């Protein structure tokens, strides 16, 4: 069955798919799951809608897409595995010849390089198989393709339908492992394994550090695969390990500027192709959020398997100055398990992640595509007639994956922050608001009633007030909400913060608090409501500002543990370079990434974090996700502590939130219980474990 | 190295001083030639570098800008440890910031590198009308404590480059052999020094 037809034959076939986010599954698209060779009957291809436009083209995000695929059903590409390819210039030439002869043998019209915008299959190999478990009976075979569109190269691996050797492997499993259009801008390296006995296989590592399961080439073709890639993207053999091929390696300064997925400036460029390859002919008349849904660009897949554990430790990467950097971030997570069944999704639908145990510790997880933000209409479906939230978990989950529309934030944030409880009614909330308003006025009056005379003898008050005044005038003044002389909202910031420093006198005012309050006031637009929401936020984040820094230390410590778990080479790198204190993450944590993203994105991130949906500590996984995004650059450029801190500070404004959230989600799921044990009990935003006053008496005159 | 040999020096410099004294503004002026009226408060620390040519040598300053609030004081030693130079900044319109500056001087004298070059900068010199700290008072204090003193304005750029230039001139040409801690910026591998100078 695994044999491919010995006769070469090409069939030209146009595939047009209408893409919709929820409904399309691979089942709707038999052509992509068809069996190789003769089984692709004309009747099957006639199931596909035909379209007559002569030169269908890939187009970018918002326009309809149609794809003319020429299905190359059999081999024709001879396995010229006589000489080693990798850095051999002749190889590329021979491949060009091969593909030219292929073209000649192709009597039927097919898309080719003469159609610059078209997608072209430049490589196709059948019977490329993954081994989800160690049992030979549970294998999934499929078709591996390299598709070129414009100047971008993508890889797909689609399992065959109904061909599984074991009934246990359901449609669901096939979906789970399907690799859909991964752009090579997101591939870091490919490791080739050529065991003396058994099949050759490759492991593809993404730039996020995550990897796909090994792909076994039952019919050979690894060299050809690499050779084809080399014709289209920058591929070099690692100086450290002849079996590792680096994609878009940053060692070469020219390439660094050209292909730098990891340079902040290039982030948007890099994510472009992942959205543009989505296939379909109806307009993707979605907003940006929906478009992101189409192709999880950095579809963070995680894999850990036995083969990998054994081989992983010798994987090294070439870096500019020649010292080796271990590149396998996953060698340490092989023992990770998560027992809960989670939903995950690809562009083609939602499915459940299988329990790791079921598939012998093999995990493949995508961060779920981001959804459009929750709007009013949908919001009301979460409320009963009295205004109680019926299923707070479902609501939090919804917000976790999409955030909240701007106009709804005022309402939703009060719940997320815990100011309103989910089971309160409209009437109860209205009542609470009025009670809280007078309570606020009472506290505010405490400092308002301090006369100038009294203030002269009240140093602490004067200092606090002075400090707050210095900070509010330099908080988000570029926003129209806060700009201009004698801005009323700036005065509100001051009053609320001063009132808070009386409400929580022990904690007082600390730099960073004005950053935390600013978006809250911007959303709530009401002094008392903003105050109480800020109070609720400080219930969670107050320990960040403790004089003894214990809240910060426990979070920085947790990050170091998580990096150790999720990316041990990076951890070792930080260890060697005296960076284990993770102080370069200080600002991220202290003010919840407020300075790292533009205002709107910060609010989006905050509401996602505040759901506490997957974890109270998702923000720590966000840190890990960002560090992993830039790990190659950090290690490749041998950054030391100061360079690293400068680099991290300068990432501000250049981090793309959605992919980071997806990575963070995937990392959180994959770390599972082991991740949770990295985080000491009582780490903010968890409430402190020890009761009693958690702000030790602060004295600002120590110095 | 005092006179011949490698004339390209890397020097770690730390800025200390009260909240809002203008530490970040001074760095921004020196490194980027800019002034931002609503310069955000510094959270944690920030790092910059800038190279100056002094006579026939170049000094690459590796500058740590710290957060001013007393609450974050416990982080300061991490930044001034191993520093070759420090600028202690106060705001001439704010007496408390001058008192705070004196405490920083004491702390550096007790804890810092004994060969550290220290400068006292009375910032916001463009605001003479609201002045609270007399230049003479600060000058006298500086003299007593072996610092050099200048009044600066990050806003008008007055004396900003001069402070750094003056520090550069006073740096011992022979760098200390070893610094005690991990965050050492002084003894870089030769090729990094060379690359720093070729870009300057
Ligand atoms: N008029 C005038 N204003 C200045 C000068 N230097 C700084 N400022 C202003 O003073 C405020 C505080 O300046 P920063 O540079 O942020 O002060 P900082 O010492 O870094 O403060 P922290 O980071 O909070 O410790 C900002 O609003 C600046 O615009 C100056 O020379 N003249
Ligand atoms: Mg500052």
**How many CB pairs below 8 A link A and B?**
85
Q: How confident is the model at residue B142 (pLDDT cuts 50, 70, 90)?
A: very high
> Do residues A361 and A304 make contact, with C-beta atoms less than 8 angstroms apart?
yes
With an 8 Å Cβ cutoff, the interface of chain A facing chain B consists of 463, 466-467, 470-471, 473-475, 477-478, 510-512, 514-515, 545, 547-549, 578, 581, 583, 586-587, 590-591, 595, 641-643, 645-646, 649, 698, 700-703
* B185 in reach of chain A (CB within 8 A): yes
pLDDT score of A38 more than 90: no
Lowest mean pLDDT, pick from A50-54, A347-351, A632-636, B88-92: A347-351
Ligand 1, atom 16: closest residue by C-alpha: B39
Chain B, 57 to 76: residues with Cβ < 8 Å from chain A are 62, 64, 67-75
Ranked by mean pLDDT, the top range of A216-220, A226-230, A326-330, B48-52 is B48-52
Per CB-CB distance under 8 Å, the chain B contacts of A583 are: 44-45, 75, 78
Distance (Å) from the C-alpha of residue A638 to the closest C-alpha of chain B?
A: 12
Between residues A489 and A285, which one has the greater pLDDT? A489
Share of chain A above pLDDT 90, in %: 42
A556 C-alpha to center of ligand 2: Å? 22
What is the mean pLDDT of the segment spanning B182-188? 35
CA of A543 to the centre of ligand 2 (A): 22
CB distance B129 to ligand 1 below 6 Å: no
Q: How far is B126 from chain A (nearest CA, A)?
A: 18
pLDDT tops 90 at residue A558: yes
> What is the pLDDT confidence band of residue A35, given thresholds at 50, 70 and 90?
very low
Q: How far is the CA of A605 from the centre of ligand 1 (A)?
A: 30
For the segment A51-73, the average pLDDT, to the nearest whole number, is 36
Chain B residues in contact with A591 (beta carbon < 8 A): 43
Over range A205-224, report the average pLDDT.
Answer: 79
Kindly indicate the confidence band of residue A162, based on its pLDDT and cuts at 50, 70 and 90: low
- Tell me the H-state helices in A374-451: 376-381, 392-402, 409-416, 426-448
Backbone φ and ψ of A218, nearest 5°: -65, -25
Q: Please give the model's pTM, rounded to 2 decimal places.
A: 0.63
Cβ atoms within 10 A of the Cβ of A699, count? 9
A78 pLDDT above the threshold of 80: no
> Over chain A, what is the mean pLDDT?
71
At residue A287, the pLDDT reads: 36
Neighboring chain A residues of B64 at a CB cutoff of 8 Å: 642
Which structure tokens are listed for B36?
């931002």
Separation between Cα atoms, residue B139 and residue B145, nearest integer Å: 10
Q: Is B38 in the pocket of ligand 1 (CB under 6 A)?
A: yes
Distance B45 CA to ligand 2 centre (A): 8
Any ligand 1 atom below 6 A from CB of B163? no
**Beta strands across the sheet bearing B148-151:** B45-54, B57-66, B8-17, B85-91, B117-123, B148-151
Could you give the ipTM of this predicted complex?
0.84
CA atoms of A268 and A258, how far apart (whole Å): 13
Rounded to the nearest 10 degrees, how much is the dihedral formed by the CA atoms of B136, B141, B143, B145? Answer: -170
> A134 CB contacts (<8 Å, ≥6 apart)?
A306, A360
Rounded to whole angstroms, the Cα distance separating B23 from B18 reads 9
* Residues 6+ positions from A562 with CB-CB distance below 8 Å: A620, A621, A623, A624, A667, A671, A675, A678, A679
Report which bound ligand comes closest to the CA of B39: 1
Please tell me which of the candidates B41, B96, B183 has its beta carbon nearest to residue A474: B41
Rounded mean pLDDT, A588-593: 97
A115 vs B72 pLDDT, higher one:
B72
């Amino acid at each position: 069955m695994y044999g491919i037809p010995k006769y070469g034959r090409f069939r030209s076939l146009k595939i047009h798919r209408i893409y919709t986010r929820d409904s399309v599954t691979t089942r709707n698209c038999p052509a992509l799951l068809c069996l190789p060779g003769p089984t692709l009957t004309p009747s099957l291809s006639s199931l596909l809608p035909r379209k007559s436009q002569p030169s269908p083209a890939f187009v970018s995000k918002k326009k309809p897409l149609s794809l003319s695929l020429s299905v190359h059903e059999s081999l024709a590409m001879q396995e010229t595995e006589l000489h080693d390819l990798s850095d051999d210039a002749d190889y590329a030439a021979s491949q060009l010849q091969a593909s030219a002869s292929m073209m000649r043998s192709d009597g039927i019209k097919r898309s080719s390089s003469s159609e610059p915008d078209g997608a072209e299959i430049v490589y196709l190999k059948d019977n490329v198989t993954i081994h989800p478990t160690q049992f030979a009976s549970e294998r999934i075979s499929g078709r591996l393709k390299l598709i070129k569109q414009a100047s971008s190269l993508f890889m797909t691996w689609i399992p065959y339908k109904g061909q599984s050797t074991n009934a246990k492997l359901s449609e669901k499993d096939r979906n789970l492992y399907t690799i859909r259009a991964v752009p090579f801008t997101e591939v870091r390296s490919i490791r080739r394994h050529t065991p003396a006995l058994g099949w050759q296989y490759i492991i593809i590592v993404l730039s996020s550090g995550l990897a796909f399961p090994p792909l076994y080439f039952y019919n050979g073709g690894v060299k050809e695969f690499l050779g084809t890639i080399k014709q289209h993207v920058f591929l070099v053999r690692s100086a450290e390990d002849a079996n590792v091929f680096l994609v878009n390696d940053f060692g070469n300064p020219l390439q660094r500027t050209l292909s730098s997925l990891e340079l902040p400036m290039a982030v948007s460029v890099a994510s472009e192709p992942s959205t543009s390859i989505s296939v379909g002919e109806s307009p993707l008349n979605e907003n940006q959020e929906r478009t992101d849904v189409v192709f999880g660009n950095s579809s963070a897949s995680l894999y850990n398997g036995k083969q990998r554990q054994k081989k992983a430790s010798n994987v090294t990467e070439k870096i500019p100055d020649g010292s080796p950097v271990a590149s396998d971030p996953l060698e340490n997570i092989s023992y990770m398990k998560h027992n809960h069944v989670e939903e995950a999704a690809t562009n083609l639908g939602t499915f459940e992640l299988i329990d790791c145990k079921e598939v012998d510790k093999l995990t493949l997880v995508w961060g779920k595509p981001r959804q459009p933000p929750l709007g009013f209409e949908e919001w009301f479906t979460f409320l009963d007639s009295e205004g109680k939230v019926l299923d707070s978990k479902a609501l939090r989950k919804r917000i976790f994956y999409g955030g909240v529309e701007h106009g709804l934030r005022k309402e939703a944030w009060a719940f997320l922050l815990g100011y309103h409880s989910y089971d309160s009614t409209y009437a109860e909330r209205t009542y609470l608001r009025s009670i809280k308003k007078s309570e606020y006025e009472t506290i505010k009056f405490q400092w308002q009633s301090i006369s100038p005379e009294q203030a002269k003898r009240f140093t602490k008050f004067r200092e606090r007030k002075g400090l707050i005044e210095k900070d509010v005038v330099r908080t988000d003044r570029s926003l129209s909400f806060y700009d201009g002389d004698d801005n009323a909202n700036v005065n509100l910031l001051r009053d609320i913060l001063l009132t808070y420093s009386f409400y929580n006198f022990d904690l007082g005012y600390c730099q960073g608090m004005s950053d935390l309050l600013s978006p809250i006031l911007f959303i709530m637009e009401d002094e008392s409501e903003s105050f109480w929401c800020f109070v609720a936020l400080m219930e969670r984040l107050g320990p960040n500002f403790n004089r003894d820094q214990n809240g910060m230390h426990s979070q920085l410590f947790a990050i170091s543990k998580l990096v150790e778990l999720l990316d041990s080479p990076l951890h070792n790198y930080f260890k060697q370079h005296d960076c284990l204190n993770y102080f370069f993450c200080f600002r991220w944590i202290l003010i919840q990434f407020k300075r790292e993203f533009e205002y709107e994105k910060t609010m989006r991130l905050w509401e996602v974090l505040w759901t506490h949906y997957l974890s109270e500590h998702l923000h720590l996984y966000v840190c890990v996700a960002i560090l992993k995004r830039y790990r190659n650059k950090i290690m490749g450029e041998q950054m030391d502590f100061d360079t690293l801190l400068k680099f991290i500070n300068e990432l501000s404004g250049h981090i793309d939130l959605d992919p980071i959230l997806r990575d963070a989600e995937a990392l959180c799921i994959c770390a599972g219980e082991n991740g949770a044990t990295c985080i000491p009990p009582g780490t903010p935003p968890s409430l402190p474990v020890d009761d009693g006053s958690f702000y030790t008496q602060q004295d600002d005159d120590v110095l | 190295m005092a006179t011949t040999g490698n004339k390209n020096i890397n020097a770690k410099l730390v800025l200390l001083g009260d909240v809002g004294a203008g530490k970040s503004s001074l760095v921004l002026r020196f490194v980027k030639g800019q002034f931002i009226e609503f310069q955000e408060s510094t959270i944690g620390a920030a790092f910059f570098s800038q190279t100056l040519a002094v006579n026939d040598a170049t000094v690459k300053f590796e500058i740590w800008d710290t957060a001013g609030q007393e609450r974050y004081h416990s982080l300061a030693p991490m930044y001034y440890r191993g520093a070759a130079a420090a600028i202690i900044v106060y705001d001439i319109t704010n007496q408390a910031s001058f008192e705070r500056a004196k405490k920083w001087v004491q702390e550096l004298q007790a804890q810092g590198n004994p060969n550290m070059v220290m400068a006292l900068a009375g910032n916001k010199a463009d605001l003479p009308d609201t002045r609270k700290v007399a230049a003479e008072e600060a000058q006298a204090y500086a003299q007593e404590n072996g610092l050099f003193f200048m009044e600066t304005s990050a806003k008008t750029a007055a004396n900003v480059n001069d402070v750094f230039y003056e520090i550069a001139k006073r740096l011992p040409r022979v760098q200390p052999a070893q610094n005690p801690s991990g965050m050492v910026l002084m003894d870089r591998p030769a090729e990094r020094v060379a690359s720093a100078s070729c870009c300057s």
